[in-house]
């Protein structure tokens, strides 16, 4: 068999006696986790953007003081620089709470469902979609690397 016509590897094939509805349902769980991963990326983006903004406000306060606007600089430092973004929390604490709670739980559920229903195999739904859509024996359409 030519290397460009090999079937998907075992890690991406559905286990024996697994029906389409199960593969589809597990694929939906994995898709939901992928959306959580994207949200997590945006949360880290928020964390970094807010950290950068806080540093910029600090630089602005220094510049205001250097320009002789001490009252404005002092007010900015006292009321905004280093301020919590959510009551009691800087963004790193929001990220940690998310990671330790929802994100870990979502990952655990997705992994447990894959383990229970697909013998731990990842992306079975996508692998079958690839197999259905690719042009067999055509360069660039190989099932595996």
pLDDT in tens, 58-90: 999 999 999 999 999 999 999 999 999 999 999
Whether 14 maps to a domain, the answer reads no
Whether 8 maps to a domain, the answer reads no
Whether 138 and 3 have beta carbons less than 8 Å apart is answered as no
Distances 88 to 55, 77, 82, 96, 100 between C-alpha atoms, Å? 19, 18, 12, 13, 17
pLDDT of residue 144: 87
Domain that holds residue 116: 19-133
Whether 143 maps to a domain, the answer reads no
DSSP three-state, residue 86: strand
- pTM equals 0.85
Whether 48 maps to a domain, the answer reads yes
Whether 101 maps to a domain, the answer reads yes
Whether 113 and 26 have beta carbons less than 8 Å apart is answered as yes
Residue 72: Cβ within 10 Å count = 14
pLDDT digits (tens, 9 = 90+) for 1-60: 555 677 888 889 999 999 999 999 999 999 999 999 999 999 999 999 999 999 999 999
Domains: count for the chain: 1
Whether 9 maps to a domain, the answer reads no
86: β partners: 89
Whether 13 maps to a domain, the answer reads no
Whether 114 maps to a domain, the answer reads yes
């Amino acid at each position: 068999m030519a290397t460009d016509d090999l079937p998907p590897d075992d890690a991406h094939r559905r286990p024996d006696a697994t029906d389409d509805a199960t593969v589809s349902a597990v694929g939906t769980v994995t898709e939901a986790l992928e959306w959580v991963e994207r949200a997590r990326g945006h949360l880290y983006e928020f964390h970094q953007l807010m950290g950068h903004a806080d540093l910029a406000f600090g630089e602005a306060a220094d510049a205001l003081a250097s320009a002789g606007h001490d009252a404005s600089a002092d007010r900015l430092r006292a009321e905004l620089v280093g301020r919590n973004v959510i009551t009691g929390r800087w963004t790193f604490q929001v990220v940690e709470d998310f990671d330790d709670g929802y994100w870990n739980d979502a990952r655990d559920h997705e992994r447990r469902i894959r383990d229970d229903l697909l013998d731990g195999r990842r992306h079975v739904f996508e692998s079958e979609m690839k197999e259905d859509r690719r042009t067999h024996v055509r360069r660039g359409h190989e099932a595996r690397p």
